[in-house]
Amino acid sequence: MLSPWRSESYWLLWLTFVGLFAGKLTGGYLPAIGLCVLIYLGRHLAQINRLLLWLRGGGKIPQGSGIWEEINYLIYRLRRRNKTRKKRLLRMLERFRTATAALPDATVVLGPRDEIDWFNEAAGSLLGLRKSDLGQQVGNLVRYPRFADFLRSSEYHSTLNMPSPANEKNQLEIRIVPYGDDLRLLIAQDVTQLRFMERVRSDFVANVSHELRTPLTVLKGYLETLGDEHPPLPERYGKIFRRMEEQTERMQNLVDGLLSLTRLESGGGSPQREVDVGALLRAICEEYGLISPTHAELELRLEAAAGLMGSEAELRSAFSNLIGNALKYTPAEGRITVGWREQDGGLVAEVADNGPGIAEEHLPRLTERFYRVEPDDGRRRGGAGLGLAIVKHVLSRHDAELKISSSPGKGSRFSCHFPAKRVVQLRV
């Protein structure tokens, strides 16, 4: 096949030749050449017209000669490629939709004004959405007091637990994932079974701990009676009874700790009142000052006058654990500072000591249940490893955060950061 430009040049040459020949025959070169130019132009216009008709209406690819053959073919190839690409995209989109539709978690695509753009089947059964809800704002359809606030807040790392609007008995965990410009994905997972298992576990721990309490109290009572025996028991037995007493005491602490944790986890609301944290810290220090086995110096720095809205019993248990730990781990010649101060509009309760400190690798795990650091001196302090887990739970129930900084050989600092929304000015 000739190249398009060469065949086009032959066309032009041929027409020029015909024009010249006709001009020579008729004696009028100008009209003859003019006629040839018109024929040339007419041919191009006819090709353009055919191309337009084909582009508009489809049908068979128009036949052309010269340069038009190449143009028609290139446009045809481009169209065919686009068609195949479109088909592939549609197939992919369809596959993606079927996959998301089959997901067990409810998935809702939200537009810039939180209107529903698309949702999968699970969103129908878990969130009670229907086809007619498309385009409506999700906040108007999912009616739960904290849902609207959660949607408005941009805390994408947190989740919201709420009952399913389709069935109150089911529990959902809602997560918002931002993507693209102003678009968000709402994902709701059915956690009913998970919550049920958690409740079974915590009920089991609570029941076992409760059942262990009575036999432990009886054992402890008998051991105390034996210890007070007159005349005293021979030293050989006395040592054994003291060890038994220590271990029952340890078990009792463990049982009490587990019971406190299950109470906190069950979320049963202890009353929220104005708590004078300064006075509370002073009272705890005084109690510990009297009974502390070590004689580390205890200093109170109460710089803030404000208090907190919260549960006094829970806060007492958290601060007692922190101060108790400081006393337990700081040697007699050490120093412990208990502080209460303002910071960034919120309040901070702090317990710092210059005791043995904790190696960095343990810090992230300290608040796990039963996590204990084996002391360098090999002496066990009888802790169950539940104290800091209780502190963390209490603080999270007060929207607060526990920060721990420590360096081995220098000491440790445990700070409880309470947000401004918990601060109350105390009436005097």
Question: Which residue lies nearer to ligand ADP by CB, 66 or 411?
Answer: 411
Task: Give contact residues for ligand ADP (rule: CB under 6 A).
Answer: 321, 325-326, 329, 353, 355-356, 358, 366, 371-373, 383-389, 412
Question: Which residue lies nearer to ligand ADP by CB, 188 or 389?
Answer: 389
Judge residue 369's burial from the number of C-beta atoms within 10 Å of its C-beta, 0-12 exposed, 13-18 middle, 19 or more buried. Answer: middle
Q: Print the SS3 string covering the chain.
A: CCCHHHHHHHHHHHHHHHHHHHHHHHCCHHHHHHHHHHHHHHHHHHHHHHHHHHHHHCCCCCCCCCHHHHHHHHHHHHHHHHHHHHHHHHHHHHHHHHHHHHCCCEEEEECCCCEEEEECHHHHHHHCCCHHHCCCEHHHHCCCHHHHHHHHCCCCCCCEEEECCCCCCCEEEEEEEEECCCEEEEEEEECHHHHHHHHHHHHHHHHHHHHHHHHHHHHHHHHHHHHCCCCCCCHHHHHHHHHHHHHHHHHHHHHHHHHHHHHHHCCCCCCCEEECHHHHHHHHHHHHHHHCCCCCEEEEEECCCCEEEECHHHHHHHHHHHHHHHHHHCCCCCEEEEEEEEECCEEEEEEEECCCCCCHHHHHHCCCCCCCCCCCCCCCCCCCCCHHHHHHHHHHHCCCEEEEEEECCCEEEEEEEECHHHEECCCC
Question: Which residue lies nearer to ligand ADP by CB, 350 or 353?
Answer: 353
Question: Shortest gap between Cβ of 279 and ligand ADP (angstroms)?
Answer: 23
Question: Which residue lies nearer to ligand ADP by CB, 126 or 388?
Answer: 388
Helix axes 387-397, 312-329, angle to 10 degrees: 150
Question: Which residue lies nearer to ligand ADP by CB, 47 or 317?
Answer: 317
Question: Shortest gap between Cβ of 371 and ligand ADP (angstroms)?
Answer: 6
Question: Shortest gap between Cβ of 414 and ligand ADP (angstroms)?
Answer: 7
Question: Shortest gap between Cβ of 366 and ligand ADP (angstroms)?
Answer: 5
Closest CA to 285 of 268, 267, 271, 297: 297
Question: Shortest gap between Cβ of 308 and ligand ADP (angstroms)?
Answer: 22
**CA terminus-to-terminus distance, the chain:** 104
Question: Which residue lies nearer to ligand ADP by CB, 115 or 256?
Answer: 256
Question: Which residue lies nearer to ligand ADP by CB, 105 or 265?
Answer: 265
Question: Which residue lies nearer to ligand ADP by CB, 216 or 386?
Answer: 386
Question: Shortest gap between Cβ of 329 and ligand ADP (angstroms)?
Answer: 4
Question: Shortest gap between Cβ of 369 and ligand ADP (angstroms)?
Answer: 8
Question: Which residue lies nearer to ligand ADP by CB, 23 or 383?
Answer: 383
Question: Which residue lies nearer to ligand ADP by CB, 100 or 317?
Answer: 317
Question: Shortest gap between Cβ of 375 and ligand ADP (angstroms)?
Answer: 7
Question: Shortest gap between Cβ of 94 and ligand ADP (angstroms)?
Answer: 54
Q: Which residue has the tokens 């089911």?
A: 170
Question: Shortest gap between Cβ of 96 and ligand ADP (angstroms)?
Answer: 47
Q: Which two tokens stand for residue 428?
A: 């005097």
